[in-house]
Protein backbone atom coordinates (compact mmCIF):
# COMPACT_ATOMS: atom_id res chain seq x y z
CA UNK A 1 0.00 0.00 0.00
CA UNK A 2 1.44 3.35 -0.94
CA UNK A 3 1.29 6.15 1.60
CA UNK A 4 0.23 9.42 0.03
CA UNK A 5 2.16 12.38 1.38
CA UNK A 6 0.08 15.45 2.08
CA UNK A 7 1.47 18.37 0.18
CA UNK A 8 1.27 21.56 2.16
CA UNK A 9 1.04 24.76 0.15
CA UNK A 10 2.85 27.85 1.29
CA UNK A 11 0.67 30.31 3.21
CA UNK A 12 0.91 32.71 6.19
CA UNK A 13 2.67 31.28 9.23
CA UNK A 14 0.82 33.69 11.55
CA UNK A 15 -2.77 34.83 11.91
CA UNK A 16 -2.70 38.56 11.22
CA UNK A 17 -5.27 41.33 11.74
CA UNK A 18 -6.38 42.55 8.32
CA UNK A 19 -4.96 39.39 6.67
CA UNK A 20 -6.06 39.05 3.07
CA UNK A 21 -6.52 35.26 2.99
CA UNK A 22 -10.27 35.60 2.35
CA UNK A 23 -9.92 38.19 -0.38
CA UNK A 24 -7.34 36.62 -2.65
CA UNK A 25 -9.65 35.72 -5.54
CA UNK A 26 -11.28 39.15 -5.45
CA UNK A 27 -7.94 40.95 -5.43
CA UNK A 28 -6.62 38.71 -8.15
CA UNK A 29 -9.55 39.74 -10.36
CA UNK A 30 -8.31 43.31 -10.03
CA UNK A 31 -4.74 42.68 -11.20
CA UNK A 32 -3.76 44.08 -14.60
CA UNK A 33 -5.43 41.84 -17.23
CA UNK A 34 -2.09 41.04 -18.88
CA UNK A 35 -0.42 39.97 -15.62
CA UNK A 36 -0.15 36.37 -16.85
CA UNK A 37 1.78 37.48 -19.93
CA UNK A 38 4.29 39.69 -18.15
CA UNK A 39 7.95 38.73 -17.78
CA UNK A 40 10.34 39.28 -14.89
CA UNK A 41 7.95 41.10 -12.58
CA UNK A 42 9.18 42.51 -9.26
CA UNK A 43 6.40 42.07 -6.68
CA UNK A 44 6.61 44.56 -3.81
CA UNK A 45 4.62 44.40 -0.58
CA UNK A 46 5.57 47.24 1.81
CA UNK A 47 2.99 46.28 4.53
CA UNK A 48 3.41 42.52 4.21
CA UNK A 49 1.91 41.40 7.56
CA UNK A 50 1.10 37.67 7.37
CA UNK A 51 1.78 37.76 3.63
CA UNK A 52 -1.42 36.11 2.34
CA UNK A 53 -1.15 37.97 -0.96
CA UNK A 54 2.63 37.45 -1.17
CA UNK A 55 2.39 33.65 -0.83
CA UNK A 56 -0.53 33.53 -3.24
CA UNK A 57 1.13 35.68 -5.90
CA UNK A 58 4.43 33.81 -5.78
CA UNK A 59 2.65 30.49 -6.25
CA UNK A 60 0.27 31.64 -8.93
CA UNK A 61 2.53 33.81 -11.11
CA UNK A 62 5.78 32.34 -12.34
CA UNK A 63 6.44 35.68 -14.03
CA UNK A 64 7.39 37.06 -10.60
CA UNK A 65 11.13 36.61 -10.43
CA UNK A 66 11.89 39.00 -7.61
CA UNK A 67 9.99 40.15 -4.50
CA UNK A 68 10.60 42.91 -1.96
CA UNK A 69 8.85 42.73 1.39
CA UNK A 70 8.73 45.11 4.31
CA UNK A 71 6.89 45.63 7.58
CA UNK A 72 7.39 47.85 10.58
CA UNK A 73 7.17 44.90 13.00
CA UNK A 74 10.72 43.66 13.75
CA UNK A 75 9.73 40.23 15.06
CA UNK A 76 7.55 39.53 12.06
CA UNK A 77 10.44 40.48 9.77
CA UNK A 78 12.81 38.30 11.80
CA UNK A 79 10.43 35.36 11.20
CA UNK A 80 10.53 35.98 7.44
CA UNK A 81 14.33 36.16 7.56
CA UNK A 82 14.59 32.89 9.49
CA UNK A 83 12.06 31.09 7.30
CA UNK A 84 13.76 32.23 4.11
CA UNK A 85 17.33 31.52 5.25
CA UNK A 86 17.60 29.20 8.25
CA UNK A 87 14.18 27.64 8.91
CA UNK A 88 15.76 24.86 10.98
CA UNK A 89 16.70 27.39 13.70
CA UNK A 90 13.13 28.62 13.98
CA UNK A 91 11.77 25.06 13.92
CA UNK A 92 14.12 24.02 16.72
CA UNK A 93 13.01 26.90 18.97
CA UNK A 94 9.33 26.26 18.18
CA UNK A 95 9.62 22.54 18.95
CA UNK A 96 10.99 23.32 22.41
CA UNK A 97 8.10 25.71 23.07
CA UNK A 98 5.53 23.24 21.71
CA UNK A 99 6.80 20.32 23.75
CA UNK A 100 6.75 22.32 26.96
CA UNK A 101 3.35 23.86 26.33
CA UNK A 102 1.52 20.81 25.05
CA UNK A 103 3.00 18.58 27.76
CA UNK A 104 1.12 20.26 30.64
CA UNK A 105 -2.53 20.70 31.69
CA UNK A 106 -4.70 23.75 30.99
CA UNK A 107 -3.93 25.56 34.22
CA UNK A 108 -0.18 25.18 33.75
CA UNK A 109 -0.53 26.23 30.10
CA UNK A 110 -2.06 29.51 31.11
CA UNK A 111 0.82 30.17 33.51
CA UNK A 112 3.33 29.21 30.85
CA UNK A 113 1.66 31.54 28.34
CA UNK A 114 2.09 34.52 30.69
CA UNK A 115 5.66 33.50 31.53
CA UNK A 116 6.52 33.38 27.81
CA UNK A 117 4.70 36.66 27.23
CA UNK A 118 6.87 38.28 29.96
CA UNK A 119 9.97 36.76 28.36
CA UNK A 120 8.95 38.12 24.96
CA UNK A 121 8.46 41.58 26.49
CA UNK A 122 11.81 41.55 28.29
CA UNK A 123 15.02 43.14 27.08
CA UNK A 124 18.07 41.32 25.82
CA UNK A 125 16.41 38.18 24.49
CA UNK A 126 18.04 36.67 21.39
CA UNK A 127 16.19 37.75 18.19
CA UNK A 128 15.72 34.12 17.04
CA UNK A 129 14.14 33.15 20.35
CA UNK A 130 11.98 36.30 20.19
CA UNK A 131 10.82 35.35 16.72
CA UNK A 132 9.81 31.89 17.97
CA UNK A 133 8.02 33.42 20.97
CA UNK A 134 6.26 35.77 18.57
CA UNK A 135 4.85 32.78 16.63
CA UNK A 136 4.07 30.94 19.88
CA UNK A 137 2.09 33.92 21.24
CA UNK A 138 0.32 34.39 17.91
CA UNK A 139 -0.90 30.78 18.03
CA UNK A 140 -1.86 30.73 21.70
CA UNK A 141 -3.11 34.24 22.51
CA UNK A 142 -6.71 35.41 22.34
CA UNK A 143 -7.87 35.48 18.71
CA UNK A 144 -4.32 35.60 17.31
CA UNK A 145 -4.27 39.33 17.78
CA UNK A 146 -1.12 41.43 17.90
CA UNK A 147 -1.56 44.45 20.15
CA UNK A 148 0.94 46.48 22.13
CA UNK A 149 0.38 48.94 24.97
CA UNK A 150 1.74 52.50 25.03
CA UNK A 151 5.15 51.22 26.18
CA UNK A 152 5.28 48.88 23.19
CA UNK A 153 4.69 45.72 25.26
CA UNK A 154 2.59 42.89 23.79
CA UNK A 155 -0.53 42.67 25.98
CA UNK A 156 -2.98 40.20 24.38
CA UNK A 157 -4.34 37.71 26.96
CA UNK A 158 -4.29 33.90 26.96
CA UNK A 159 -6.34 32.22 24.23
CA UNK A 160 -7.56 28.86 25.65
CA UNK A 161 -7.02 26.80 22.46
CA UNK A 162 -7.36 23.04 22.96
CA UNK A 163 -4.80 21.94 20.40
CA UNK A 164 -2.74 24.85 19.14
CA UNK A 165 -0.18 24.01 16.47
CA UNK A 166 2.89 25.88 17.60
CA UNK A 167 5.50 24.30 15.35
CA UNK A 168 4.08 23.70 11.89
CA UNK A 169 7.28 22.35 10.40
CA UNK A 170 5.72 21.34 7.06
CA UNK A 171 4.28 24.80 6.56
CA UNK A 172 7.53 26.54 7.48
CA UNK A 173 9.38 24.34 4.98
CA UNK A 174 6.77 24.99 2.26
CA UNK A 175 7.16 28.74 2.87
CA UNK A 176 10.95 28.32 2.80
CA UNK A 177 10.85 26.57 -0.58
CA UNK A 178 8.56 29.17 -2.11
CA UNK A 179 10.53 32.14 -0.78
CA UNK A 180 13.70 30.59 -2.17
CA UNK A 181 12.23 30.03 -5.62
CA UNK A 182 12.71 33.73 -6.43
CA UNK A 183 15.15 36.50 -5.57
CA UNK A 184 13.79 37.82 -2.27
CA UNK A 185 14.64 41.12 -0.61
CA UNK A 186 13.50 41.28 3.01
CA UNK A 187 13.98 44.85 4.13
CA UNK A 188 15.11 45.62 7.66
CA UNK A 189 11.94 46.41 9.64
CA UNK A 190 10.93 49.97 8.98
CA UNK A 191 8.70 52.43 7.24
CA UNK A 192 7.05 51.39 3.96
CA UNK A 193 8.57 54.29 2.02
CA UNK A 194 11.98 52.62 2.15
CA UNK A 195 10.91 50.04 -0.46
CA UNK A 196 11.35 52.90 -2.96
CA UNK A 197 15.07 52.01 -2.84
CA UNK A 198 14.46 48.48 -4.11
CA UNK A 199 12.48 49.11 -7.29
CA UNK A 200 13.68 47.24 -10.33
CA UNK A 201 15.19 49.57 -12.91
CA UNK A 202 14.70 47.25 -15.86
CA UNK A 203 11.47 45.38 -15.27
CA UNK A 204 7.90 45.99 -14.18
CA UNK A 205 7.33 46.73 -10.50
CA UNK A 206 3.93 45.67 -9.15
CA UNK A 207 3.29 47.16 -5.70
CA UNK A 208 0.48 45.88 -3.46
CA UNK A 209 -0.11 48.09 -0.42
CA UNK A 210 -2.27 46.98 2.48
CA UNK A 211 -1.72 49.62 5.18
CA UNK A 212 -3.48 49.73 8.56
CA UNK A 213 -7.17 50.38 8.00
CA UNK A 214 -8.66 53.78 8.46
CA UNK A 215 -11.60 53.43 10.90
CA UNK A 216 -14.90 53.21 9.00
CA UNK A 217 -15.96 56.67 10.10
CA UNK A 218 -13.92 59.55 11.47
CA UNK A 219 -10.19 59.83 11.82
CA UNK A 220 -8.24 58.42 14.71
CA UNK A 221 -4.78 57.63 15.89
CA UNK A 222 -5.20 54.01 14.87
CA UNK A 223 -2.68 51.72 16.62
CA UNK A 224 -3.07 48.00 16.22
CA UNK A 225 0.18 46.62 14.96
CA UNK A 226 2.81 48.76 16.55
CA UNK A 227 3.33 51.74 18.71
CA UNK A 228 3.53 54.10 15.73
CA UNK A 229 0.20 55.60 14.78
CA UNK A 230 -1.29 55.32 11.31
CA UNK A 231 -3.79 58.17 11.25
CA UNK A 232 -4.94 60.57 8.53
CA UNK A 233 -1.55 62.29 8.27
CA UNK A 234 0.00 58.92 7.41
CA UNK A 235 -2.82 58.11 4.93
CA UNK A 236 -2.08 61.39 3.12
CA UNK A 237 1.66 60.70 3.04
CA UNK A 238 0.91 57.26 1.65
CA UNK A 239 -1.10 58.78 -1.20
CA UNK A 240 1.92 60.97 -2.08
CA UNK A 241 4.09 57.87 -2.00
CA UNK A 242 1.68 56.15 -4.45
CA UNK A 243 1.96 59.19 -6.72
CA UNK A 244 5.75 58.86 -6.66
CA UNK A 245 5.51 55.14 -7.47
CA UNK A 246 3.19 56.01 -10.38
CA UNK A 247 5.73 58.53 -11.67
CA UNK A 248 8.28 55.71 -11.66
CA UNK A 249 5.93 53.56 -13.80
CA UNK A 250 5.03 51.13 -11.03
CA UNK A 251 1.64 49.44 -11.15
CA UNK A 252 0.03 50.12 -7.80
CA UNK A 253 -2.86 48.42 -6.01
CA UNK A 254 -3.90 49.49 -2.53
CA UNK A 255 -6.66 48.22 -0.24
CA UNK A 256 -8.28 49.90 2.73
CA UNK A 257 -11.61 50.17 4.54
CA UNK A 258 -14.35 51.99 2.66
CA UNK A 259 -14.16 54.80 5.18
CA UNK A 260 -16.59 57.72 5.11
CA UNK A 261 -16.26 61.30 6.25
CA UNK A 262 -18.96 63.00 8.33
CA UNK A 263 -20.78 64.17 5.18
CA UNK A 264 -20.80 60.54 3.92
CA UNK A 265 -18.18 61.31 1.26
CA UNK A 266 -15.82 58.39 0.67
CA UNK A 267 -12.53 59.39 2.31
CA UNK A 268 -10.30 57.49 -0.12
CA UNK A 269 -12.11 58.49 -3.32
CA UNK A 270 -11.52 62.09 -2.35
CA UNK A 271 -7.90 61.53 -1.33
CA UNK A 272 -6.98 59.43 -4.39
CA UNK A 273 -8.70 61.57 -7.01
CA UNK A 274 -7.71 60.40 -10.52
CA UNK A 275 -7.11 56.76 -9.46
CA UNK A 276 -9.50 53.84 -10.21
CA UNK A 277 -11.77 52.46 -7.48
CA UNK A 278 -13.44 49.09 -6.90
CA UNK A 279 -15.25 47.63 -3.92
CA UNK A 280 -14.91 44.09 -2.58
CA UNK A 281 -16.85 42.38 0.21
CA UNK A 282 -14.55 41.19 2.98
CA UNK A 283 -15.44 38.91 5.89
CA UNK A 284 -13.98 40.27 9.11
CA UNK A 285 -12.96 37.55 11.53
CA UNK A 286 -10.73 39.25 14.05
CA UNK A 287 -13.30 40.75 16.37
CA UNK A 288 -13.86 39.97 20.03
CA UNK A 289 -17.62 40.12 19.56
CA UNK A 290 -18.91 37.24 17.36
CA UNK A 291 -21.99 39.35 16.49
CA UNK A 292 -19.74 41.75 14.66
CA UNK A 293 -18.02 39.17 12.46
CA UNK A 294 -19.85 40.18 9.33
CA UNK A 295 -18.99 41.31 5.81
CA UNK A 296 -17.80 44.82 5.12
CA UNK A 297 -16.92 46.58 1.93
CA UNK A 298 -13.29 47.39 1.31
CA UNK A 299 -12.04 49.78 -1.27
CA UNK A 300 -9.35 48.80 -3.78
CA UNK A 301 -7.50 51.69 -5.38
CA UNK A 302 -5.42 51.21 -8.54
CA UNK A 303 -3.32 53.44 -10.76
CA UNK A 304 -4.10 51.30 -13.83
CA UNK A 305 -7.21 50.16 -15.69
CA UNK A 306 -7.99 46.47 -15.32
Ligand X SMILES: C[S@@+](CC[C@H](N)C(=O)[O-])C[C@H]1O[C@@H](n2cnc3c(N)ncnc32)[C@H](O)[C@@H]1O
Question: How many whole angstroms separate alpha carbon 238 and alpha carbon 252?
Answer: 12
Helical pair 87-102 and 169-179, crossing angle rounded to 10 deg = 160
The reply to whether 71 sits near ligand X by the rule CB under 6 A is yes
Question: How many whole angstroms separate alpha carbon 257 and alpha carbon 287?
Answer: 15
The reply to whether 72 sits near ligand X by the rule CB under 6 A is yes
- Identified binder of ligand X from the candidate list 230, 241, 267, 275, rule CB under 6 A: 230
- Identified binder of ligand X from the candidate list 49, 87, 144, 159, rule CB under 6 A: 49
Specify whether the backbone of 279 is left (phi greater than 0), alpha (psi in -120 to 50) or beta: beta
The reply to whether 212 sits near ligand X by the rule CB under 6 A is yes
- Tell which residue, 80, 89, 38, 88, has the closest CA to residue 55: 80
The reply to whether 235 sits near ligand X by the rule CB under 6 A is no
Question: How many whole angstroms separate alpha carbon 303 and alpha carbon 306?
Answer: 10
What kind and span of H or E run contains 303? none
Between residues 101 and 192, which has the closer beta carbon with respect to ligand X? Answer: 192
Q: What is the per-residue binding string for ligand X in 1-30, x denoting contact by CB under 6 A? A: ---------------x-xxx----------
The reply to whether 50 sits near ligand X by the rule CB under 6 A is yes
Between residues 205 and 226, which has the closer beta carbon with respect to ligand X? Answer: 226
Contact 284, 293 (CB under 8 A): yes
The reply to whether 176 sits near ligand X by the rule CB under 6 A is no
Contact 227, 35 (CB under 8 A): no
Between residues 47 and 134, which has the closer beta carbon with respect to ligand X? Answer: 47
Question: Closest distance between ligand X and the C-beta of residue 115, in Å?
Answer: 25
Contact 299, 268 (CB under 8 A): yes
- Identified binder of ligand X from the candidate list 75, 98, 210, 298, rule CB under 6 A: 210
The reply to whether 256 sits near ligand X by the rule CB under 6 A is no
- Identified binder of ligand X from the candidate list 81, 121, 140, 226, rule CB under 6 A: 226
CA dihedral angle for residue 23, residue 135, residue 7, residue 62, rounded to 10 degrees: 50
The reply to whether 298 sits near ligand X by the rule CB under 6 A is no
In the complex, which residues of this chain contact ligand X (CB under 6 A)? Answer: 16, 18-20, 46-47, 49-50, 52-53, 70-73, 191-192, 210-212, 225-226, 230
Amino acid sequence: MSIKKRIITARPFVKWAGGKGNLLQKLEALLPTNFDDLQNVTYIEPFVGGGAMLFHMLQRYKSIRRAVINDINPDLIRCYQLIARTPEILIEHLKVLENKYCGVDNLARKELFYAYRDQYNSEGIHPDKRAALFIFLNHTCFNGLYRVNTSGKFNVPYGRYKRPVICNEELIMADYRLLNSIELVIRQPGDYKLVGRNLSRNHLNFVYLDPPYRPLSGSSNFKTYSNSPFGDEQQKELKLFCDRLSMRNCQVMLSNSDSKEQNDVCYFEKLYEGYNFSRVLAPRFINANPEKRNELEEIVIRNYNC
